[in-house]
């Protein structure tokens, strides 16, 4: 054929973000738009409008090989396929009300998760919510409303995904805050902090200049519970993939320690050591034993850089409990042969070695996750942490608190706005928290933190590092900061997210720590109670983060809590009908970031740091609104006064351009001579931040501490690495499950999830559940293009696309399971149906399933078809003083689902099986609507029909 | 614009599926007639990423191969098409199924050696990769799959300008004689791997010499600091392995089969101590000498 001149619809090109993290914009994409509809999403090409040199790319060089940013952005697969999600059959298209929830009659809380929905108007929905808020407030007080508004979502800024309802509720006198618990860095926060202080989240600090140093000096990298081809994707795209190849080309050995041949190991590993899930503490102890036994560790360093080593070494050598932690001892627990343990120990001692992490991973998200995390820090310490080539480095959130290193991460211009972009982002610059601790807790804090000074009269001082509000933001636009302020009635009661279900079901709960989701070690000594003094228990929930069932601990317990009589009304606002939405009484439809205009920044992509103005790329689907506007409807229904105050005298109304300009000025760029006008004139609003060379001049990681620990102490009470924690000795000397120095906890009061357990006779497999490869936690389960890939979903014989559960052929054969069979993964907590994925990518003794698959209740009290594995994760927190969650490394069994069993369920739960399931998307809106369809024309049937705005 | 080709480095593919996704993004729900009608959302993969998992725990490796229309110089599809719907693009030589001419008989789909042609049941036409010709003809510089590849494992080249890019590359199923224009580098062969250890001392053995004999060909490697050895990129066949380490008896593992396209993990291989060589007693020595003299035995076999 001949070339044909064709309108390929590429004239209207807009820049958009792809992050699912909620604060960063993520790697940008170019979106071609035609008549209110997205045509295509492509990587942003840096070199098309300018030369690469003009961007002054960063560079790493070692051994004559160079590494730097490519000529295009590296958005994730999920970012590139977002079109399917905008037009997904799973979208909430208009406000919904649960059919048998009657605020003036029967509320039927027991039917949450079972009964369907009817379409209502925005006016009716807003009025229902307003009336409930007034009633609940009057009857119980403001704290009776729980705000669930933390964690990830698309990167939206001027109208943020999270916390808008909190803004409104503060005008009603307050609320109870669901406090985000440490998620994805549990072990580092509750454990490693006691060894090395570290960052706000407990990872090694500082992180500056690590990869240039690793490239030059490291000989071996231990990817321990780390998947560089998964965890970074939805936040940072594929810079990690490129970096892994570069490090490989330099001849650095990549050793992966994880039960599964994860996606990184599958293509990058030189050596895979498949450890049994969450038995890493035993493996570490035996490595340390080998070093002690053979005297192959940095003895001089330990003498000068460490405190509390004798006590810890005595434990390792068996002097404390009579059990030397030998490779033989460990082998039976962790499933790695004695000879491989010794070889690993010797290789680590011989080669310049760094540990690579991706925040979480199985290593630090299981039972007692503080133990392996502390041991990781200690092991690095024994081999001279801070020495060239000896670090802990991240493959995500490049350098975290350290802005340039050299891949750019958050900087001074990042619009870290208070209490808004993420609810738990702190408001008060001095206190770095907007959560007002109760008098009782404030008193404790004062006692713990020494003499009363002006700075701690209101509570402890918290350094939130990268998560804190920037001074630049305050300086850049004081007016905007004023708009953001809404803490006159900030919450005085909170519940950690991992304890919300327990709080509802038992009516009370207590915990230590968690003043904010990260911060200094000192907050860990604070003891909290729910209900707080003079506060009501919760009776209403308003969530904009409806994924506790599929992302947190013991999801079936959450489902039960949401069915409680105590909870009279649940409101959810979300773009898609999924997970906790199915437990809600009222659901509000929300737009995706692609349907709104915004101002974003690429903070974490690792290529070039940029601020960019984005414009809507699609008409809003159905009647969906942005989160801010959705809550504004409720404010209006409460009364004009509320609306005036919520919008700060209408300054914060639907004026995208004005807000973008305000947010732009909060970056501080106008101060530096880059006006908004100039910004907008460049490609409609793109500004690349200049590269900083700070990293080149800064010693890598803990090098200064390595050279002179007295002059450059680390952030621990002693200023040194604490193999036995001086602080834990002081505050919790008798804690058997997080002892003063790390131990192997075979079984304890809080968890009994080991293969030596009695329970293992019934549930013999240890479940590994990583961050999803095809999802960002609960986001993106409905991308139909990916659902055809077998590691994402397996279409089984009944045509349903099941979440895959990986099994080694040995375990599959024992159970008569074949690849593609419908199976159940289960324990005492319930049953989750899956599709069997039989593979050599997993060791025997384990079952592997990603978290975040959507909840499709057959019975919301015990049987799920959607593959939401967190339904059966352990209920308890990490351990007594550690309010973390346990979402991997727990006991299960997997068995084939027989036809008879399935038929029995179908007989018993006919409604669950009769819900419509879309062939490509799976669970969908239509499946949850009552039979009575709205009149034709009322529903925008075609997924790409434009907005049906109210009159 | 001259003749184009795809060059894919399998050793640089992380299996992110961005290529497959970008293809769907361009062609699902978008109508680019006369180049192509929309690709169905489900069941069709004009670019399909193929997964390969080799070996057994803990010696397992993966590689991914992006499969698309090979835009062959000798396309079988074109030869069997009776309605002349399959033509060659005049500029870049892509093989295009023109949707408006296609009768939907499906012969091309059956004839294609690579399974690259999908039948669209709804539109009743045959469909496949167009090389994103509609974009290249209208201002774009790259097909969508290539542009989306984050590791640049996929390259799109002009054969006249950069023929050297195809050096050392292979095409799939050359025996079919289709002369594809999609080239692959570093598609790995099978491997034989294992770990060598001393079961008594419970230690790995580093530096053990491993010899692999395949027909007349001999390969050698030594075990690394984890006791591991890897023979990579092996052809299908039967192999004999000999492992030697000082102080141990030679280990013979014969008849290892990498036929049926399978890589082999030999697992943890226990080495036995070398047999004690005790000297014969004087009496025995006399007897041996006698036997040698009688021609019953040779002294140096």
Q: What is the C-alpha separation between A606 and A69, in angstroms, rounded?
A: 7
Query: Does the domain at residues A209-398+702-731 carry the CATH identifier 3.40.228.10?
Result: yes
Q: How many CB atoms lie within 10 A of CB B195?
A: 25
Q: Can you name the CATH fold of A119-183+416-598+620-672? A: Rossmann fold (3.40.50)
Instruction: Pick the residue from chain A with its C-alpha nearest to B55.
Output: A840
A634's tokens: 């409720």
Q: Which runs of E-coded beta strand occur in A504-654?
A: 509-512, 527-530, 540-543, 569-574, 586-589, 598-602, 610-614
Is the CB of residue A749 less than 8 Å away from at least one CB of chain B? no
Q: Taken in order A320, A325, A326, A329, is the CA torsion positive or negative?
A: positive
Question: What ipTM goes with this model?
Answer: 0.94
Between chains, do B17 and A786 touch, taking CB under 8 Å as contact? Answer: yes
Tell me the CA distances in angstroms from A172 to A143, A642, A646, A945, one per residue in order: 10, 9, 11, 38
Residue B32 in 3-state DSSP? strand
Helix orientation angle between A338-350 and A280-294, rounded to the nearest 10 degrees = 60
Cα separation of the two ends of chain B: 71
Q: Is A8–B134 a contact, with Cβ atoms under 8 angstroms apart?
A: yes
| Beta carbons of B248 and B197 less than 8 angstroms apart | no
**Residue A450: predicted pLDDT:** 46
DSSP symbols for A53-108: GGG----EEETTEEE---SB----HHHHTHHHHHT-TTB--S-EEETT--TTS---
**Does the beta-carbon distance from B134 to A237 stay under 8 Å?**
no
- Tell me which chain B residues have a C-beta less than 8 angstroms from the C-beta of A785: 20-21, 24, 28, 41
pTM, rounded to two decimals: 0.94
Residue B264 has pLDDT above 60, yes or no: yes
Q: Residue A807's closest chain B neighbor by CA?
A: B57
**Could you give the CA distance from residue A52 to residue A756 in angstroms, rounded to a whole number?**
58
Q: Taking CB atoms and an 8 Å cutoff, what residues of chain B touch A41? A: 25
Q: Would you identify the CATH topology of the domain B190-270?
A: Immunoglobulin-like (2.60.40)
- What is the token pair recorded at B205? 């053995």
CB A28 within 8 Å of CB A594: no
The residues with which A625 forms a beta bridge, in sequence order, are: A590
DSSP E strand boundaries for A550-657: 569-574, 586-589, 598-602, 610-614
CB–CB contact A266 B61 (8 Å):
yes
The pairs formed by A130-139 with CB atoms below 8 angstroms and a separation of 24 or more are A130/A634, A130/A637, A130/A638, A131/A103, A131/A637, A132/A103, A132/A540, A132/A568, A132/A569, A132/A571, A133/A169, A133/A172, A133/A540, A133/A634, A133/A638, A134/A638, A135/A103, A136/A539, A136/A540, A136/A568, A136/A569, A137/A172, A137/A173, A139/A539
Query: In chain B, which residues fall in CATH 2.60.40.10?
Result: 190-270
List the structure tokens of A515. 């003043």
**Domain B4-185 adopts which CATH fold?**
Alpha-Beta Plaits (3.30.70)
Alpha-carbon distances of A905 from A647, A804, A857, rounded to whole Å: 50, 21, 12
Task: Give CA–CA dist B75/B85, Å, rounded.
Answer: 13
Q: How far is A176 from chain B (nearest CA, A)?
A: 41
CA distance to A312, A620, A621, A627, per residue, from A590 (Å):
53, 9, 9, 6
**How many residues are given for chain B?**
301
CB contact under 8 A, B148 and A80: yes
Residue A536: CB atoms within 10 A of its CB come to: 18
pLDDT at A417: 58
Pairing of strands A890-896, A509-512: unpaired
- Answer whether B204 sits within 8 Å of A340, measured CB to CB: yes
**C-alpha–C-alpha distance, residues A882 and B218, integer Å:** 58
CATH number of the domain at A758-928, please? 2.40.40.20
Beta bridge partners of A892: A765
Can you state the angle between helices A338-350 and A327-334, rounded to 10 degrees?
A: 110
User: Strand A830-838 and strand A765-768: pairing?
Assistant: unpaired
Question: According to CATH, where is 3.30.70.20 located in chain B?
Answer: 4-185
The residue behind tokens 């059966």 is A872
Cα distance between residue A112 and residue A551, in whole Å: 19
Of B197, B199, B192, B218, the C-alpha closest to B207 is B197
Please list every residue in chain A whose beta carbon sits closer than 8 Å to the beta carbon of residue B198: 339
The C-alpha atoms of residue A577 and residue A916 are separated, in whole angstroms, by: 13
How far from the centroid of its chain's Cα atoms is residue A794's Cα? 25
Count the neighbouring beta carbons within 10 Å of the beta carbon of residue A544.
27
Compute how many other C-beta atoms are within 10 angstroms of the C-beta atom of residue B278.
Answer: 6
Asked if A272 lies within 8 A of B98 by C-beta distance, the reply is no
For residue B59, give the nearest of A274, A470, A447, A719 by alpha carbon. Answer: A274
d(CA A228, CA A239): 9
pLDDT at A407: 85
* Separation CA A349–CA A497 (nearest Å): 41
Looking at the complex, does the CB of residue A72 fall below 8 Å from at least one CB of chain B?
A: yes
Phi, psi of B101 (to 5 degrees): -100, -20
Query: In degrees rounded to 5, what are phi and psi of residue A630?
Result: -60, -45
**Residue (of B84, B55, B68, B71) closest to B8 by Cα position:** B68
Q: Region B34-51: what's the mean pLDDT?
A: 98
Closest CA–CA distance from residue A428 to any residue of chain B (Å): 40
What is the token pair recorded at B100?
């408006």
User: How confident is the model at residue A452, as a pLDDT?
Assistant: 34
What tokens does A787 get? 């659902």
**Strand, helix or coil for residue A186:** helix
Q: Block means of pLDDT (10 residues each) for chain A, length 951 residues? A: 96 92 84 96 95 92 96 96 96 97 97 97 98 98 94 84 88 90 92 93 91 97 96 92 98 98 98 98 98 98 98 98 98 98 98 92 93 98 98 90 76 60 45 56 64 37 58 72 65 91 97 80 87 94 97 97 98 97 98 93 88 94 95 97 89 84 87 93 91 81 96 94 96 97 97 97 97 95 97 98 98 98 98 98 98 97 98 97 96 98 98 96 96 52 38 30
Local structure of A903: helix, strand or coil: helix
Put simply, the answer to whether B227 touches A339 (Cβ < 8 Å) is yes
Cα–Cα distance, A400 to A919 (Å, whole number): 41
Whether A228 and chain B come into contact, CB under 8 Å, resolves to: no
Distance from C-alpha of A417 to C-alpha of B31, rounded to nearest angstrom: 43
Domain residue spans of chain A: 119-183+416-598+620-672, 209-398+702-731, 758-928
What's the first-to-final CA gap in chain A, in angstroms?
50
- Nearest CB to A808; choose among B57, B62, B138: B57
H runs (alpha helix) in chain B: 18-27, 76-80, 107-111, 133-136, 144-148, 282-293
- The answer to whether residues A653 and A635 touch, using CB atoms and an 8 Å cutoff, is no
Q: Which of A700, A608, A612, A698 is nearest to A58 (CA)?
A: A608
Q: Contacts of residue A8 in chain B, CB cutoff 8 Å?
A: 32, 134-135, 138-140
Query: Of B25, B35, B150, which is closest to A81 when you measure between CB atoms?
Result: B25
Does the CB of A273 have a partner CB in chain B at under 8 Å? yes
* Residue A273 to residue A905: CA distance in whole angstroms: 40
pLDDT at residue B29 tops 60: yes
Which residue out of B150, B151, B156, B264 would a mutagenesis test of the A interface target, given it has the greatest number of A Cβ atoms within 10 Å? Answer: B150
Nearest CA of chain B to the CA of A894: how many Å?
20
Q: Which of A42, A339, A844 sits opposite B147 (nearest CB)?
A: A42
**DSSP states of A190-202:** IIIHHHH--STTS
Q: Which two tokens stand for residue A636?
A: 């209006």
Min Cα separation A391/chain B (Å): 22
Take residue B96 and report the two structure tokens written for it: 């295009």
């Amino acid at each position: 054929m001949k070339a044909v001149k064709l309108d390929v619809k590429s004239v209207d090109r807009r820049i958009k973000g792809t992050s699912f993290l909620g604060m960063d914009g993520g790697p940008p994409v170019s979106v071609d738009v035609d008549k209110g509809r997205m045509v295509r999403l492509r990587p942003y090409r840096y070199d098309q409008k300018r030369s690469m040199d003009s961007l002054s790319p960063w560079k790493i060089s070692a051994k004559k090989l160079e590494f730097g940013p490519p000529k295009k952005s590296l958005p994730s697969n999920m970012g590139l396929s977002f079109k399917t999600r905008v037009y997904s059959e799973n979208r909430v298209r208009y406000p919904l009300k649960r059919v048998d929830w009657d605020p003036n009659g029967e509320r039927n809380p027991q039917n949450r998760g079972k009964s369907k929905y009817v379409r209502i108007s925005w006016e009716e929905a807003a009025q229902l919510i307003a009336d409930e808020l007034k009633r609940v407030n009057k009857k119980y007080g403001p704290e009776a409303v729980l705000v669930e508004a933390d964690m990830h979502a698309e990167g939206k800024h001027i109208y943020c995904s999270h916390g808008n309802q909190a803004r409104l509720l503060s005008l009603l006198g307050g609320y109870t805050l669901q406090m985000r618990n440490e998620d994805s860095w549990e072990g580092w926060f509750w454990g490693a902090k006691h060894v090395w202080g570290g960052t706000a989240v407990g990872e090694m600090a500082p992180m500056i200049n690590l990869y240039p140093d690793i490239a030059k000096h490291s000989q071996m990298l231990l990817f321990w519970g780390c998947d560089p081809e998964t965890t970074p994707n939805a936040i940072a795209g594929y810079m990690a993939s490129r970096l892994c190849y570069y490090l490989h080309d330099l001849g650095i050995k990549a050793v992966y320690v994880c039960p599964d041949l994860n996606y990184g190991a599958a293509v990058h590993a030189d050596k895979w050591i498949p450890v049994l899930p969450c038995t890493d503490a035993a493996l570490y102890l035996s490595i340390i034993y080998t070093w002690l036994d053979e005297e192959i560790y940095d003895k001089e360093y330990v003498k000068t850089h460490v405190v509390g080593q004798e006590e810890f070494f005595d434990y390792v050598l068996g002097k404390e409990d009579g059990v030397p932690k030998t490779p033989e001892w460990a082998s039976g627990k962790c499933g790695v042969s004695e000879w491989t343990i010794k070889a690993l120990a010797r290789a680590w001692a011989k080669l310049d070695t760094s540990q690579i992490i991706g925040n979480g991973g199985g290593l630090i998200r299981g039972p007692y996750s503080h133990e392996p995390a502390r041991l990781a820090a200690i092991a690095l310490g024994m081999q001279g942490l801070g020495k060239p080539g000896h670090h802990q480095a991240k493959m995500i959130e490049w350098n975290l608190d350290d802005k340039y290193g050299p891949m750019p991460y958050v900087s001074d211009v990042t619009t870290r706005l208070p209490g808004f972009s993420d609810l738990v982002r702190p408001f008060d610059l001095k206190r770095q928290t907007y959560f007002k601790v109760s008098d009782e807790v404030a008193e404790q804090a004062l006692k713990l933190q020494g003499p009363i000074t002006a700075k701690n009269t209101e509570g402890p001082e918290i350094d939130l590092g990268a998560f804190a509000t920037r001074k630049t933001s305050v300086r850049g636009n004081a007016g905007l900061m004023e708009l953001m302020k809404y803490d006159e009635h900030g919450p005085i009661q909170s519940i950690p997210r991992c304890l919300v279900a327990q709080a509802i079901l038992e009516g009370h709960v207590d915990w230590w720590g968690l003043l904010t989701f990260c911060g200094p070690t000192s907050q860990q000594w604070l003891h909290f109670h729910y209900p707080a003094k003079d506060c009501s228990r919760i009776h209403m929930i308003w969530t904009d983060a409806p994924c506790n069932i599929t992302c947190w601990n013991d999801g079936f317990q959450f489902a039960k809590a949401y069915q409680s009589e105590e909870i009279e009304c649940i409101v959810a606002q979300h773009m898609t009908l999924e997970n906790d939405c199915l437990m809600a009484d009222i659901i509000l439809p929300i737009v995706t970031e692609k349907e709104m205009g915004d101002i974003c920044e690429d903070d974490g992509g690792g290529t070039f740091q940029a601020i960019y103005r984005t414009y809507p790329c699609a008409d809003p689907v159905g009647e969906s609104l942005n989160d801010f506007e959705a809550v504004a409807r409720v404010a209006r229904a409460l009364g004009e006064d509320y609306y005036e105050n919520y919008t700060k005298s209408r300054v914060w109304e639907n004026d995208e351009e004005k807000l973008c300009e305000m947010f732009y000025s909060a970056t501080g760029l106008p101060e530096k001579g880059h006006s908004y006008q100039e910004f907008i004139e460049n490609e409609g609003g793109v500004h690349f931040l200049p590269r900083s060379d700070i990293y080149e001049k800064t010693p890598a990681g803990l090098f200064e501490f390595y050279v002179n620990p007295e002059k450059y102490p680390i952030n621990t009470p002693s200023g040194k690495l604490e193999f036995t924690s001086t602080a834990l000795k002081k505050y919790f000397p008798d804690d058997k499950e997080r002892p003063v120095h790390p131990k192997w906890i075979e079984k304890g009061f809080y968890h009994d999830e080991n293969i030596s357990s009695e329970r293992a006779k019934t549930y013999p497999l240890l479940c590994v559940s990583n961050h999803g490869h095809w999802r960002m936690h609960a986001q993106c389960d409905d991308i139909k293009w990916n659902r055809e890939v077998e590691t994402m979903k397996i279409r089984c014989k009944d045509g349903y696309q099941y979440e895959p559960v990986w099994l080694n052929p040995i375990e599959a054969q024992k159970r008569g399971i074949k690849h593609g069979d419908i199976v159940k993964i289960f324990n005492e907590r319930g049953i989750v149906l899956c599709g069997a994925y039989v593979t050599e990518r997993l060791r025997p003794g384990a079952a592997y399933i990603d978290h975040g698959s959507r909840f499709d209740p057959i019975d919301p009290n015990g049987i799920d078809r959607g593959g939401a594995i967190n339904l059966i994760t352990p209920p308890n927190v990490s351990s007594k003083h550690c309010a973390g969650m346990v979402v991997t490394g727990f006991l299960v069994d997997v068995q084939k689902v027989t036809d008879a069993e399935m038929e029995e369920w179908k007989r018993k739960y006919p409604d669950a099986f009769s819900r419509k399931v879309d062939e490509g998307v799976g669970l969908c809106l239509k499946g949850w609507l009552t039979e009575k369809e709205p009149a034709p024309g009322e529903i925008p049937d075609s997924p790409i029909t434009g907005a049906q705005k109210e009159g | 614009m001259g003749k184009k080709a795809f060059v894919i480095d399998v050793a640089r593919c992380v299996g992110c599926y961005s290529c497959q996704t970008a293809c769907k993004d361009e062609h699902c729900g978008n109508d680019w007639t006369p180049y192509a009608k929309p690709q169905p959302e489900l069941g069709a993969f004009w670019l399909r990423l193929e997964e390969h998992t080799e070996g057994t725990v803990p010696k397992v490796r993966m590689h991914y191969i992006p499969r698309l229309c090979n835009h062959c110089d000798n396309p079988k599809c074109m030869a069997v098409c009776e309605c002349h719907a399959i033509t060659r693009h005049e500029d870049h030589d892509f093989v295009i199924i023109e949707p408006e001419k296609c009768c939907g008989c499906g012969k091309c789909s059956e004839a294609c050696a690579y399974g690259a042609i999908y039948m669209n049941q709804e539109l009743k036409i045959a469909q496949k990769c167009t090389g994103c010709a509609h974009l290249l003809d209208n201002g774009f510089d790259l097909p969508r799959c290539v542009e989306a590849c984050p590791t640049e494992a996929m390259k799109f080249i002009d054969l006249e300008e950069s023929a050297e890019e195809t050096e050392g590359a292979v095409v799939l199923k050359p025996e079919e004689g289709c002369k594809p224009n999609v080239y692959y580098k570093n598609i790995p062969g099978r491997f034989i791997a294992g770990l060598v250890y001393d079961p008594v001392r419970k230690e790995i053995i580093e530096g053990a010499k491993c010899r692999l004999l395949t027909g007349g060909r001999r390969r050698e490697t030594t075990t690394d600091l984890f006791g591991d050895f890897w023979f990579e990129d092996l052809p299908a066949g039967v192999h004999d392995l000999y492992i030697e380490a000082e102080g141990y008896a030679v280990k013979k593992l014969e008849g290892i089969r990498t036929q049926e396209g399978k890589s082999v993990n030999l697992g943890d291989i226990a080495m036995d101590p070398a047999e004690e060589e005790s000297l014969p007693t004087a009496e025995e020595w006399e007897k041996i000498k006698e036997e040698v003299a009688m021609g019953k035995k040779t002294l140096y076999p």
